[in-house]
With several copies, the nearest count.
Chain A
């Protein structure tokens, strides 16, 4: 088995916040089946805060755990705070990821940021921190 931490295995086994928000305020997608990982994040925003966040993920154990962790980290944060979440932080919160999984599966923060940017664009507000 890949050398997954207990936290990764916990999030993989019991992923939080799975799903797709019906009338989402923002949507972000990363990856594709060729590379083996795809994530689709949808968010609900209220008073500049991420009131709800859900995701759909096609991918390995790391990709699923990362999605789950990102959703937990983002929930309740202001958009500015959420934009500061980095893939590195996500990996750290998961007590690390196997070296070879750091690049291809650790895209959760990117998907979240895309969802936030999507929201901002829809609002006509181009976020300063957008990457």
Chain B
């Protein structure tokens, strides 16, 4: 059977060049970058090369890049680290209602510790309004943290405008760019963010490879204290192979972003149109234009997401959903709730994320299978039967 992954944001196969670059650092160049002898040379050089490549992806200076092991770690280091270094300056944090849990869950903890948190609402497309940000900032505000793009509905925030507002009030801005980095142009110098999180596995790099950009004027405290790796901001022996992989992935992303984005946008739009034509009662979630090029989020009305996911899986197509049953916490997507999607549509949400292994020849099969699965599940759906009755009654 054909196997088609449309869940590339959850995981995607490495670029072959990435794995190839990593392998020698498991074997010949296994040394510790901190070593004072020859065995430390190749890993240390490779690490600094990777740092320069990551910096290049977002137009930062190499010394502004701190390596971590996940976007979650970067987000925790950014927020907790900045607050720890700026305790005396205020106690108010502004974020948005569509952030990833690695931002939202720390904010809950910080609230218990006495911080005041404002979560800005979003519009029906998932956009934060710069005017609302401006109104929310007080003289106690010490941090604004708003994502660059939403991993679920794909919506890209007006980052430049948002940062400008925060900057005009002198408040440092963190952006969780885990979903965005590698897929949209980011220029930290132009944008003026203080902190930016990114993760290699979102652009064909390895798991366990991530980074935090910390602008030169920004002071933070480490989360993991110990040795003076990463300028003392993140202790622990560096995971050289993973970080080498991150470097190569960042370099490839920088060099080929335009082509990648063009190709995948074309494919995504083709898939979207075919699906909307052939499967009735589909709803597009997120912004129609300002969205990640590889992301498509649809609600399949009248059916539940896990059943959809399992049925698609039986057809060899791997997708994801924002339904309660597919979330490990058994809660339906807070993002879909934040854009005001009715619960029924949230439960039937389908996240399709494309990757380098997808191609146009797959589109007909995907379309045919989703149409069949939606039909099959609808035929056993009480909501669909109710809908049909209402249509009949109105006719």
Give residues in A with beta carbon < 8 Å to B. 1-2, 12-13, 15, 18-20, 29, 32-40, 55-64, 100-101, 104-105
Contact at A33–B344, with CB atoms within 8 Å?
A: yes
Binding site of A, secondary structure by majority: helix, strand, loop or mixed?
A: mixed
A55 smallest CB distance to B (angstroms): 8
- Are the C-beta atoms of B310 and A36 separated by less than 8 Å? no
Residue from the set A1, A12, A64, A105 with the largest chain B CB neighbour count within 10 Å: A1
B134 touches A (CB below 8 Å)? no
Does B10 have its Cβ within 8 Å of any Cβ on chain A? no
Q: Within residues 347 to 391 of chain B, which ones have a CB less than 8 A from any CB in chain A? A: 347, 379-383, 385
**At the interface, yes or no: B304 with Cβ under 8 Å from chain A?**
yes
A64 to B381, CA, bound (A): 10
Q: Which residue of B lies closest to A9 (CB)?
A: B310
Q: Which residue from chain A places its CB closest to the CB of B310 in the assembled complex?
A: A61
- A1 and B40 contact, CB distance less than 8 A: yes
Q: Quick one: given A34-B343, A35-B324, are A57 and B380 in contact (CB under 8 Å)?
A: yes
The A-B contact count (CB < 8 A) is 84
Contact residues, B6-58 vs A (CB, 8 A): 35-38, 40-41
Chain B contact residues (Cβ within 8 angstroms of A): what range? Answer: 20 to 34
Residues of chain B whose beta carbon lies under 8 Å from any beta carbon of chain A = 35-38, 40-41, 302-307, 310, 313-314, 323-326, 328, 330, 332, 342-344, 347, 379-383, 385
Find the B residue at minimum CB distance from A12. Answer: B310
Q: How far is the CB of A70 from chain B (nearest CB, A)?
A: 14
Q: In the bound complex, do residue B347 and residue A36 qualify as a contact, i.e. CB atoms below 8 Å apart?
A: yes
Contact A57 B382 (CB under 8 A): yes
Q: A1-B37, A33-B343, A36-B323 are in contact. Are A15 and B382 (CB under 8 A)?
A: no
Q: How far is the CA of A60 from the CA of B332 in the complex (A)?
A: 12
Output the least CB separation between B361 and chain A (Å): 26
Given contacts A2-B36, A40-B382, A101-B325, 14 further A-B contacts (CB under 8 A): A1-B36, A1-B38, A2-B306, A12-B310, A29-B382, A33-B343, A38-B382, A58-B303, A58-B381, A58-B383, A60-B325, A63-B307, A100-B328, A100-B330
12 pairs of residues in contact across A and B, judged by CB atoms under 8 Å: A18-B379, A32-B343, A36-B323, A36-B325, A56-B382, A56-B385, A57-B381, A58-B302, A60-B307, A61-B306, A61-B310, A100-B330
User: By the criterion CB–CB under 8 Å, are A15 and B347 in contact?
Assistant: no
Interface centre among B304, B305, B332, B342 (most CB of A within 10 A): B304
